[in-house]
Amino acid sequence: MHTDTYRHRGMRRTLVEELRRKGIRDERVLTAIGVVPRHLFFDAAFQPHAYQDKAFPIGEGQTISQPYTVAYQTELLQVRPTDRVLEIGTGSGYQCSVLLELTPHVFSIEYNQVLFERTARRLMAMQRPPHLFCGDGSLGLPQHAPFDKILVTAGSPTLPRPLLRQLRVGGALVIPVGDETTQRMMRVVRESEEEFSRQELEEFRFVPLLGQAGWGKQ
Ligand code: SAH
């Protein structure tokens, strides 16, 4: 159950081909998806489904994002090997592990204490673990800012001001923005201290971003 086998690697190759057909182009992102054993981020009951291009429950009413969504957001981030990246919504830790294939400087924050503890145990066993935090990620991580890239993996009602402020000039924020049912993916670049440009992309469905700059407490 806790191992990666030849069969799993074969299923990952098939998943990578599916993502390529669906329009993911960045070879570094496809390679990362091909390497990270997604089944190890699942509860035992769902493990047989780990290489389907679907979202699945991870407990606490939350989900592990669909591989297409993970690949799409990661491609938009354009991570360079020296980038400091902040992820909001650690969840299962899968997206975090994909980011770690692209840069060793990954910070991730999770709001839900139960998920945080479970996932921290899983990720801290890695050879070069990420920096993990439990708290309200809608406020970012001011003590570790600025970041070159910020990725939000939950749906936000607005562009959270604290996250914009914690971007380095030239850095990018990738975030789904909308109502509780659908959100549009946004890519915001900090062009200078005061100027931001933004691109509006495809529609998605994420679980809500909670917290002060999100939908509030729950
Ligand atoms: N990136 C995750 C997807 C998790 S779903 C993965 O790869 O599995 C979104 C996650 O965001 C949930 O775990 C939810 O608890 C978390 N979340 C929601 N609001 C948050 C907030 N304000 N700060 C940090 N995490 C938050």
Residue 121: give the domain boundaries. Answer: 54-204
Is residue 23 situated within a structural domain?
no
Predicted TM-score (pTM) above 0.85: yes
Q: State which amino acid sits at residue 11.
A: M
3-18 tens-digit pLDDT: 899 999 999 999 999 9
The alpha carbon dihedral of 184, 190, 196, 198 has a sign of negative
Is residue 81 situated within a structural domain?
yes
Across the range 113-122, mean pLDDT stands at: 96
Which pLDDT does position 43 carry in this prediction?
A: 86
Is residue 4 situated within a structural domain?
no
What is the average pLDDT score of the chain? Answer: 96
> Ligand 1 centre from 154 Cα, in Å?
6
Question: Is the confidence at residue 1, as pLDDT, over 70?
Answer: no
Q: State which amino acid sits at residue 162.
A: P
User: Roughly what angle, to the nearest 10 degrees, separates helices 6-21 and 67-77?
Assistant: 70
Structural domain count of the chain: 1
33-63 tens-digit pLDDT: 999 999 999 988 888 899 999 999 999 999 9
Does residue 92 line the site of ligand 1, with CB under 6 A? yes
| Alpha carbon distance 16, 68 (integer Å) | 9
Which pLDDT does position 218 carry in this prediction?
A: 67
For 191-195, the CB contacts below 8 A with 24+ separation are: 193/169
Atom from ligand 1 closest to the CA of residue 98: 7
Counting runs of H as helices and runs of E as strands, what totals does the chain give? Answer: 6, 9
129-168 tens-digit pLDDT: 999 999 999 999 999 999 999 999 999 999 999 999 999 9
Does residue 109 line the site of ligand 1, with CB under 6 A? yes
Which pLDDT does position 125 carry in this prediction?
A: 87
Is residue 118 situated within a structural domain?
yes
Which pLDDT does position 68 carry in this prediction?
A: 98
Is residue 214 situated within a structural domain?
no
Is residue 8 situated within a structural domain?
no
Check if 65 is active-site: yes
> Ligand 1 centre from 150 Cα, in Å?
13
Is residue 141 situated within a structural domain?
yes
178-195 tens-digit pLDDT: 999 999 999 999 999 999
Does residue 156 line the site of ligand 1, with CB under 6 A? no
> Ligand 1 centre from 65 Cα, in Å?
10
